Amino acid sequence: MDRRAFIGMGLTGAAGVAVGATGAMAVSFARDLSSKGAVGATTVPFYGQHQPGIDTPQAAHAALVAFRLRESTDAERLQRLLRLWSGDAALLQSGQPALADSNPELSRTPASLTITIGLGRGAFAAASLLHRWPLAYNEIPAFDIDRLDPRWTGGDLLLQVSANDGATVTHAVRELMKDALPFAERVWQQSGWHVQPDVHPGESPRNLFGFKEGAGNPVPGTADFASAVWNDGAAQPWFEGGTAIAIRRIRMDLDRWDQVPPLMQESTFGRHVINGAPLGGTSEFQKPDFRMRNGKGALVIPENAHIRRAEARRNIFRRPFNYDDGLTADGLPDAGLLFIAFGSDIDRYVGIQAALAKQDALNVWTTPVGSAMFVIPPGAPSEAHWVGETLFA
Protein backbone atom coordinates (compact mmCIF):
# COMPACT_ATOMS: atom_id res chain seq x y z
CA MET A 1 0.00 0.00 0.00
CA ASP A 2 1.43 3.40 -0.97
CA ARG A 3 1.67 6.33 1.41
CA ARG A 4 -1.19 8.33 -0.12
CA ALA A 5 -3.62 5.45 0.02
CA PHE A 6 -2.66 4.71 3.62
CA ILE A 7 -3.33 8.34 4.68
CA GLY A 8 -6.65 8.24 2.86
CA MET A 9 -7.88 5.40 4.99
CA GLY A 10 -8.02 7.69 8.01
CA LEU A 11 -7.28 6.87 11.59
CA THR A 12 -9.92 4.18 11.87
CA GLY A 13 -8.67 2.25 8.90
CA ALA A 14 -5.07 2.61 10.02
CA ALA A 15 -5.93 1.34 13.46
CA GLY A 16 -7.66 -1.64 11.90
CA VAL A 17 -4.56 -2.46 9.87
CA ALA A 18 -2.41 -2.14 12.97
CA VAL A 19 -4.64 -4.43 14.99
CA GLY A 20 -4.80 -6.93 12.19
CA ALA A 21 -1.05 -6.98 11.77
CA THR A 22 -0.49 -7.35 15.49
CA GLY A 23 -3.00 -10.17 15.67
CA ALA A 24 -1.35 -12.00 12.79
CA MET A 25 2.06 -11.70 14.40
CA ALA A 26 0.67 -12.94 17.71
CA VAL A 27 -0.88 -15.98 16.06
CA SER A 28 2.38 -16.73 14.25
CA PHE A 29 4.41 -16.32 17.44
CA ALA A 30 2.09 -18.59 19.39
CA ARG A 31 2.32 -21.21 16.69
CA ASP A 32 6.14 -21.08 16.82
CA LEU A 33 6.11 -21.50 20.59
CA SER A 34 3.75 -24.48 20.42
CA SER A 35 6.40 -26.67 18.78
CA LYS A 36 9.99 -27.35 19.73
CA GLY A 37 12.73 -28.53 17.44
CA ALA A 38 14.84 -31.57 18.14
CA VAL A 39 17.77 -29.43 19.32
CA GLY A 40 15.70 -27.66 21.96
CA ALA A 41 13.95 -30.80 23.20
CA THR A 42 17.02 -33.01 23.52
CA THR A 43 17.92 -34.05 27.07
CA VAL A 44 21.05 -35.60 28.58
CA PRO A 45 20.65 -37.82 31.67
CA PHE A 46 22.19 -36.44 34.84
CA TYR A 47 22.46 -39.75 36.72
CA GLY A 48 25.09 -42.31 35.79
CA GLN A 49 28.54 -43.68 36.53
CA HIS A 50 30.21 -40.47 35.35
CA GLN A 51 29.11 -36.87 35.49
CA PRO A 52 27.71 -35.40 32.25
CA GLY A 53 29.53 -32.73 30.26
CA ILE A 54 32.69 -34.80 29.74
CA ASP A 55 32.05 -37.71 27.39
CA THR A 56 28.70 -36.33 26.20
CA PRO A 57 28.59 -34.42 22.86
CA GLN A 58 29.97 -30.91 23.25
CA ALA A 59 27.27 -28.22 23.22
CA ALA A 60 27.40 -24.82 21.53
CA HIS A 61 27.34 -22.60 24.63
CA ALA A 62 29.09 -22.94 27.98
CA ALA A 63 29.64 -21.12 31.24
CA LEU A 64 32.34 -21.91 33.78
CA VAL A 65 31.59 -20.56 37.25
CA ALA A 66 33.96 -20.75 40.23
CA PHE A 67 32.96 -20.20 43.85
CA ARG A 68 34.75 -19.46 47.11
CA LEU A 69 33.26 -21.18 50.16
CA ARG A 70 32.06 -19.00 53.00
CA GLU A 71 33.87 -19.40 56.33
CA SER A 72 30.77 -20.97 57.85
CA THR A 73 30.68 -23.78 55.27
CA ASP A 74 31.92 -27.01 56.85
CA ALA A 75 31.54 -30.63 55.77
CA GLU A 76 27.85 -30.79 56.69
CA ARG A 77 26.98 -27.57 54.86
CA LEU A 78 29.04 -28.55 51.83
CA GLN A 79 27.09 -31.80 51.59
CA ARG A 80 23.84 -29.85 51.72
CA LEU A 81 24.97 -27.71 48.79
CA LEU A 82 26.06 -30.73 46.73
CA ARG A 83 22.68 -32.36 47.35
CA LEU A 84 20.89 -29.19 46.26
CA TRP A 85 23.01 -28.86 43.14
CA SER A 86 22.54 -32.51 42.22
CA GLY A 87 18.77 -32.36 42.63
CA ASP A 88 18.33 -29.15 40.65
CA ALA A 89 20.83 -30.22 37.97
CA ALA A 90 18.85 -33.43 37.42
CA LEU A 91 15.60 -31.48 37.07
CA LEU A 92 17.05 -28.85 34.73
CA GLN A 93 18.75 -31.41 32.49
CA SER A 94 15.43 -33.24 32.11
CA GLY A 95 13.66 -30.05 31.03
CA GLN A 96 11.89 -29.48 34.35
CA PRO A 97 12.08 -26.36 36.56
CA ALA A 98 14.47 -26.37 39.48
CA LEU A 99 13.03 -26.23 42.99
CA ALA A 100 11.69 -22.70 43.55
CA ASP A 101 12.57 -21.89 39.93
CA SER A 102 12.02 -18.17 39.34
CA ASN A 103 11.57 -18.60 35.56
CA PRO A 104 10.19 -22.11 35.00
CA GLU A 105 9.41 -21.37 31.35
CA LEU A 106 13.15 -21.11 30.65
CA SER A 107 13.68 -24.61 32.05
CA ARG A 108 11.50 -26.25 29.43
CA THR A 109 14.11 -25.97 26.66
CA PRO A 110 16.90 -28.25 27.90
CA ALA A 111 18.77 -28.19 24.55
CA SER A 112 21.23 -30.91 25.64
CA LEU A 113 21.95 -29.13 28.93
CA THR A 114 24.74 -30.67 31.01
CA ILE A 115 25.88 -29.60 34.47
CA THR A 116 29.25 -30.75 35.83
CA ILE A 117 30.26 -30.17 39.46
CA GLY A 118 33.89 -29.80 40.54
CA LEU A 119 35.67 -29.52 43.89
CA GLY A 120 38.83 -27.50 44.45
CA ARG A 121 41.37 -28.17 47.19
CA GLY A 122 39.70 -25.50 49.33
CA ALA A 123 36.53 -27.60 49.47
CA PHE A 124 38.53 -30.56 50.80
CA ALA A 125 40.09 -28.28 53.42
CA ALA A 126 36.70 -26.88 54.49
CA ALA A 127 35.39 -30.43 54.93
CA SER A 128 38.55 -31.55 56.81
CA LEU A 129 39.19 -34.10 54.05
CA LEU A 130 42.58 -33.05 52.70
CA HIS A 131 43.79 -36.62 53.27
CA ARG A 132 41.37 -37.64 50.51
CA TRP A 133 42.75 -35.23 47.90
CA PRO A 134 43.33 -37.58 44.93
CA LEU A 135 45.65 -35.62 42.60
CA ALA A 136 49.44 -35.42 42.31
CA TYR A 137 49.38 -31.59 42.36
CA ASN A 138 47.61 -29.21 44.72
CA GLU A 139 47.29 -26.64 41.92
CA ILE A 140 48.54 -26.11 38.38
CA PRO A 141 52.19 -24.99 38.66
CA ALA A 142 53.18 -21.52 37.49
CA PHE A 143 54.84 -21.33 34.07
CA ASP A 144 57.10 -18.61 32.69
CA ILE A 145 54.58 -17.76 29.96
CA ASP A 146 51.75 -17.14 32.46
CA ARG A 147 50.37 -13.68 33.12
CA LEU A 148 47.59 -14.78 35.42
CA ASP A 149 44.78 -12.44 36.43
CA PRO A 150 43.10 -13.21 39.80
CA ARG A 151 39.74 -12.58 38.09
CA TRP A 152 40.12 -15.87 36.20
CA THR A 153 42.14 -17.97 38.63
CA GLY A 154 41.49 -20.46 41.45
CA GLY A 155 38.29 -21.37 43.24
CA ASP A 156 36.91 -23.89 45.75
CA LEU A 157 33.97 -25.12 43.67
CA LEU A 158 33.22 -25.26 39.96
CA LEU A 159 30.13 -25.47 37.80
CA GLN A 160 30.51 -26.25 34.12
CA VAL A 161 27.16 -25.57 32.44
CA SER A 162 26.69 -26.15 28.72
CA ALA A 163 23.78 -26.40 26.28
CA ASN A 164 22.86 -25.70 22.67
CA ASP A 165 20.83 -22.65 23.72
CA GLY A 166 22.47 -19.65 25.40
CA ALA A 167 19.37 -18.73 27.42
CA THR A 168 19.25 -22.26 28.83
CA VAL A 169 22.83 -21.92 30.06
CA THR A 170 22.22 -18.51 31.65
CA HIS A 171 19.06 -19.68 33.38
CA ALA A 172 20.67 -22.85 34.76
CA VAL A 173 23.62 -20.85 36.09
CA ARG A 174 21.30 -18.41 37.86
CA GLU A 175 19.26 -21.15 39.49
CA LEU A 176 22.35 -23.00 40.71
CA MET A 177 23.88 -19.75 41.96
CA LYS A 178 20.80 -19.18 44.12
CA ASP A 179 21.33 -22.62 45.63
CA ALA A 180 24.92 -21.67 46.46
CA LEU A 181 24.27 -18.28 48.10
CA PRO A 182 24.12 -19.51 51.74
CA PHE A 183 27.30 -21.57 51.27
CA ALA A 184 29.57 -19.86 48.73
CA GLU A 185 30.11 -16.72 46.69
CA ARG A 186 30.95 -16.50 43.00
CA VAL A 187 34.54 -15.44 42.32
CA TRP A 188 34.65 -15.68 38.53
CA GLN A 189 32.54 -16.64 35.56
CA GLN A 190 33.66 -17.26 31.99
CA SER A 191 31.50 -17.93 28.95
CA GLY A 192 32.39 -19.43 25.59
CA TRP A 193 30.99 -21.07 22.51
CA HIS A 194 31.58 -24.11 20.35
CA VAL A 195 30.38 -24.98 16.87
CA GLN A 196 26.61 -25.49 16.67
CA PRO A 197 25.44 -29.09 16.13
CA ASP A 198 25.51 -30.21 12.48
CA VAL A 199 27.23 -27.04 11.22
CA HIS A 200 30.32 -29.04 10.25
CA PRO A 201 29.48 -32.71 10.89
CA GLY A 202 32.51 -34.94 11.26
CA GLU A 203 34.94 -32.02 11.43
CA SER A 204 36.76 -30.42 14.33
CA PRO A 205 35.77 -26.81 15.19
CA ARG A 206 38.12 -23.91 14.53
CA ASN A 207 39.69 -21.58 17.07
CA LEU A 208 39.87 -17.82 16.58
CA PHE A 209 43.21 -18.15 14.77
CA GLY A 210 41.33 -20.12 12.12
CA PHE A 211 42.88 -23.53 12.88
CA LYS A 212 41.02 -26.68 13.81
CA GLU A 213 40.92 -27.86 17.43
CA GLY A 214 40.51 -31.47 18.53
CA ALA A 215 42.58 -33.68 16.23
CA GLY A 216 44.21 -36.47 18.21
CA ASN A 217 41.60 -36.43 20.97
CA PRO A 218 40.69 -39.84 22.40
CA VAL A 219 37.18 -40.87 21.33
CA PRO A 220 34.54 -41.20 24.09
CA GLY A 221 33.46 -44.78 24.59
CA THR A 222 36.84 -46.25 23.67
CA ALA A 223 39.45 -47.90 25.90
CA ASP A 224 41.89 -45.08 25.11
CA PHE A 225 39.39 -42.52 26.38
CA ALA A 226 38.65 -44.47 29.54
CA SER A 227 42.32 -44.86 30.44
CA ALA A 228 43.07 -41.20 29.74
CA VAL A 229 40.07 -39.68 31.52
CA TRP A 230 38.51 -41.87 34.21
CA ASN A 231 40.41 -42.45 37.44
CA ASP A 232 40.66 -46.09 38.53
CA GLY A 233 40.41 -45.33 42.24
CA ALA A 234 43.69 -47.10 43.06
CA ALA A 235 44.99 -44.26 45.25
CA GLN A 236 41.62 -42.99 46.50
CA PRO A 237 38.79 -45.54 46.13
CA TRP A 238 36.11 -42.86 46.48
CA PHE A 239 37.43 -41.23 43.25
CA GLU A 240 36.88 -44.22 40.94
CA GLY A 241 35.02 -43.03 37.87
CA GLY A 242 35.93 -39.40 38.50
CA THR A 243 38.38 -37.19 36.67
CA ALA A 244 40.35 -33.97 36.97
CA ILE A 245 39.74 -30.76 35.02
CA ALA A 246 42.32 -28.14 34.05
CA ILE A 247 41.01 -24.76 32.90
CA ARG A 248 43.24 -22.21 31.19
CA ARG A 249 42.03 -18.89 29.83
CA ILE A 250 44.35 -18.20 26.89
CA ARG A 251 44.18 -14.74 25.36
CA MET A 252 45.01 -14.62 21.65
CA ASP A 253 46.71 -11.62 20.04
CA LEU A 254 44.36 -11.56 17.07
CA ASP A 255 45.58 -8.23 15.67
CA ARG A 256 49.20 -9.36 15.39
CA TRP A 257 48.26 -12.85 14.21
CA ASP A 258 46.37 -11.36 11.27
CA GLN A 259 49.67 -9.89 10.06
CA VAL A 260 51.49 -13.24 10.04
CA PRO A 261 51.94 -14.80 6.55
CA PRO A 262 49.81 -17.96 6.09
CA LEU A 263 52.82 -20.26 5.63
CA MET A 264 54.31 -19.03 8.91
CA GLN A 265 50.96 -19.57 10.63
CA GLU A 266 50.94 -23.16 9.42
CA SER A 267 54.54 -23.72 10.55
CA THR A 268 53.59 -22.37 13.96
CA PHE A 269 50.76 -24.88 14.41
CA GLY A 270 52.32 -27.66 12.34
CA ARG A 271 49.07 -28.06 10.40
CA HIS A 272 47.49 -26.87 7.17
CA VAL A 273 44.81 -24.28 7.83
CA ILE A 274 42.50 -25.35 5.01
CA ASN A 275 41.81 -28.90 6.20
CA GLY A 276 43.62 -29.30 9.52
CA ALA A 277 46.00 -31.97 8.16
CA PRO A 278 49.48 -32.14 9.72
CA LEU A 279 52.14 -30.61 7.50
CA GLY A 280 53.13 -33.21 4.92
CA GLY A 281 49.75 -34.94 5.33
CA THR A 282 46.43 -34.84 3.54
CA SER A 283 43.67 -35.27 6.16
CA GLU A 284 42.84 -33.80 9.55
CA PHE A 285 42.96 -37.01 11.56
CA GLN A 286 46.13 -38.40 9.94
CA LYS A 287 48.92 -39.10 12.41
CA PRO A 288 51.70 -36.50 12.08
CA ASP A 289 55.03 -37.72 10.71
CA PHE A 290 57.52 -35.88 12.89
CA ARG A 291 60.51 -37.44 11.10
CA MET A 292 59.56 -36.23 7.63
CA ARG A 293 62.03 -33.83 6.00
CA ASN A 294 61.77 -31.71 2.89
CA GLY A 295 64.14 -31.64 -0.09
CA LYS A 296 66.55 -29.39 1.80
CA GLY A 297 66.75 -31.74 4.78
CA ALA A 298 64.68 -29.52 7.09
CA LEU A 299 61.91 -30.96 9.27
CA VAL A 300 58.51 -30.55 7.59
CA ILE A 301 56.92 -30.04 11.02
CA PRO A 302 59.30 -27.62 12.78
CA GLU A 303 60.89 -28.51 16.10
CA ASN A 304 58.90 -25.82 17.93
CA ALA A 305 55.57 -26.39 16.12
CA HIS A 306 52.61 -26.51 18.48
CA ILE A 307 51.53 -30.05 17.62
CA ARG A 308 55.05 -31.41 18.06
CA ARG A 309 55.44 -29.85 21.52
CA ALA A 310 52.03 -31.18 22.62
CA GLU A 311 52.33 -34.64 21.10
CA ALA A 312 54.72 -36.35 23.53
CA ARG A 313 52.16 -36.75 26.32
CA ARG A 314 48.83 -36.70 24.46
CA ASN A 315 46.86 -38.51 27.14
CA ILE A 316 44.17 -35.99 28.03
CA PHE A 317 40.78 -35.15 26.56
CA ARG A 318 40.49 -31.56 25.31
CA ARG A 319 37.09 -29.85 25.32
CA PRO A 320 37.78 -26.14 24.62
CA PHE A 321 35.47 -23.20 23.91
CA ASN A 322 36.22 -19.91 22.14
CA TYR A 323 35.52 -16.66 23.96
CA ASP A 324 35.23 -13.00 22.96
CA ASP A 325 34.68 -10.45 25.73
CA GLY A 326 35.17 -7.26 23.74
CA LEU A 327 38.24 -5.18 24.54
CA THR A 328 40.81 -5.16 27.31
CA ALA A 329 41.53 -1.99 29.31
CA ASP A 330 44.25 -1.08 26.80
CA GLY A 331 41.90 -1.42 23.82
CA LEU A 332 43.07 -4.80 22.51
CA PRO A 333 40.77 -7.74 21.70
CA ASP A 334 39.89 -9.69 24.85
CA ALA A 335 39.37 -12.92 22.95
CA GLY A 336 40.85 -16.37 22.84
CA LEU A 337 40.37 -19.93 24.04
CA LEU A 338 38.87 -21.36 27.21
CA PHE A 339 41.12 -24.41 27.18
CA ILE A 340 39.52 -27.25 29.12
CA ALA A 341 41.22 -30.61 29.57
CA PHE A 342 40.09 -33.70 31.45
CA GLY A 343 42.46 -36.39 32.70
CA SER A 344 42.55 -39.16 35.27
CA ASP A 345 45.17 -37.08 37.12
CA ILE A 346 46.24 -33.48 36.63
CA ASP A 347 49.88 -34.50 36.14
CA ARG A 348 48.98 -35.56 32.60
CA TYR A 349 48.03 -32.00 31.71
CA VAL A 350 50.98 -30.49 33.62
CA GLY A 351 53.42 -32.54 31.55
CA ILE A 352 51.95 -31.24 28.29
CA GLN A 353 51.85 -27.64 29.49
CA ALA A 354 55.45 -27.77 30.67
CA ALA A 355 56.56 -28.82 27.17
CA LEU A 356 54.47 -26.07 25.58
CA ALA A 357 55.77 -23.41 27.95
CA LYS A 358 59.36 -24.35 27.24
CA GLN A 359 59.37 -24.20 23.44
CA ASP A 360 56.11 -23.60 21.60
CA ALA A 361 56.14 -21.22 18.64
CA LEU A 362 52.53 -20.31 19.41
CA ASN A 363 53.56 -18.60 22.68
CA VAL A 364 54.45 -15.46 20.70
CA TRP A 365 50.75 -14.84 20.03
CA THR A 366 49.08 -16.41 23.08
CA THR A 367 49.11 -15.56 26.79
CA PRO A 368 47.58 -17.65 29.62
CA VAL A 369 45.69 -15.15 31.82
CA GLY A 370 43.63 -17.56 33.91
CA SER A 371 44.24 -20.95 35.50
CA ALA A 372 42.30 -23.33 37.73
CA MET A 373 41.98 -27.02 38.48
CA PHE A 374 39.30 -29.09 40.16
CA VAL A 375 38.45 -32.65 41.04
CA ILE A 376 35.36 -33.91 39.19
CA PRO A 377 33.78 -36.59 41.44
CA PRO A 378 32.16 -39.65 39.88
CA GLY A 379 28.53 -39.36 38.86
CA ALA A 380 25.49 -39.94 41.01
CA PRO A 381 24.24 -43.40 39.96
CA SER A 382 20.54 -42.76 40.69
CA GLU A 383 18.07 -40.33 42.21
CA ALA A 384 18.89 -41.77 45.63
CA HIS A 385 22.44 -40.40 45.34
CA TRP A 386 24.22 -37.09 44.77
CA VAL A 387 27.51 -35.90 43.30
CA GLY A 388 30.34 -36.04 45.84
CA GLU A 389 28.62 -38.56 48.10
CA THR A 390 31.46 -41.08 47.88
CA LEU A 391 33.94 -38.49 49.18
CA PHE A 392 32.05 -38.24 52.48
CA ALA A 393 31.27 -41.95 52.86
DSSP string, 264-314: HHHHHHTB-TTT-PBTT-SSTTSPP-TT-B-TTS-BSS-TT-HHHHHHTT-
Name the range with the highest mean pLDDT among 34-43, 199-208, 282-291. 282-291
pLDDT at 310 (0 to 100): 87
Q: What letter would DSSP give residue 383?
A: T
pLDDT at 31 (0 to 100): 36
Identify the residue with better confidence: 385 or 215: 385
pLDDT at 215 (0 to 100): 81
pLDDT at 36 (0 to 100): 56
CA distance 266 to 278: 9
pLDDT band of 314, cuts 50, 70, 90: low
Give the pLDDT mean for 297-318.
88
**Do the beta carbons of residue 251 and residue 315 sit within 8 Å?**
no
Whether pTM > 0.85 for this model: the answer is yes
pLDDT at 41 (0 to 100): 93
Nearest one of 158, 52, 117 to 373, comparing CA atoms: 158
The answer to whether residue 123 scores a pLDDT higher than 80 is yes
Question: What's the pLDDT tens digit per position in 59-106?
Answer: 999 999 999 999 999 999 999 999 999 999 999 999 999 999 999 999
Sign of the dihedral through C-alpha 343, 347, 350, 354: negative
Residue 332 makes CB contacts below 8 A (sequence gap 6+) with: 253, 255
**Do the beta carbons of residue 231 and residue 243 sit within 8 Å?**
yes
**Do the beta carbons of residue 279 and residue 271 sit within 8 Å?**
yes
Question: What's the pLDDT tens digit per position in 151-186?
Answer: 999 999 999 999 999 999 999 999 999 999 999 999
Tell me which amino acid residue 381 is: P
pLDDT band of 313, cuts 50, 70, 90: low
Question: What's the pLDDT tens digit per position in 54-70?
Answer: 999 999 999 999 999 99
